Amino acid sequence: MSDERRFFRGFAVSFRQMFKKPNTEFYPEEKTPTQPRFHGRHQLNRHPDGLEKCIGCELCAWACPADAIFVEGAPNTDEERFSPGERYGRVYQINYLRCIMCGLCIEACPTRALTMTNEYELADDSREKLIYEKDDLLGPLLAGMAPPPHQMYPGTTETDYYLGNVLGAAAVQSGEAEARRLGTWNAKDLDEEVIT
């Protein structure tokens, strides 16, 4: 093959592209919607009454190949209950400088507490802001939810939560959450409510 033929053959792809219409994406102004199963930012989910689904088992941290997740569990008490189980995730951190968005943590979670959203804009100007804490990862409180800590739905067990039998917060739970927010809640109030 002659040198001239090699030259033109090598540049054939470039010449073809020169006459095509450019495909310009105006990313910050026009955001393309992601696919439904896109792996984006993580979210810690809540039960319908507001209690957290995370039980602090640390399986997600063990499953993470990049060692990007740190979980520290703590026991629930009658005075402060954050999840229906025996434990809850007291500290939960995801380091997005390490995370490879593989989704293995999602597969490892036994309570579906951790899911991935379609949010993909995670860039920031400092390294500290890319370490998401529990407050950054927790899902929002929707209508009918009471902010934890509060007691479980009256007359239920943790099995009822995992079977989906709890559909929202009871008045007792909402009242306890409001009293805690105002600083007027007392553990003795709980005993009186149980007795009556």
- For 12-61, write each residue's pLDDT tens digit: 888 888 888 888 888 888 888 899 889 999 999 999 999 999 999 999 99
Model pLDDT for residues 93-137, shown as the tens digit of each residue: 999 999 999 999 999 999 999 999 999 999 999 999 999 999 999
The whole-chain average pLDDT of the chain stands at: 89
Q: Are 91 and 58 in contact (CB under 8 A)?
A: no
pLDDT more than 90, % of the chain: 61
**pTM confidence score:** 0.80
42-195: what CATH class? alpha beta
Q: Which string of DSSP letters, residue by residue, matches 2-47?
A: -HHHHHHHHTHHHHHHHTSPP----TTTSPPPPPTT---SEEE-B-
The domains of the chain are located at: 42-195
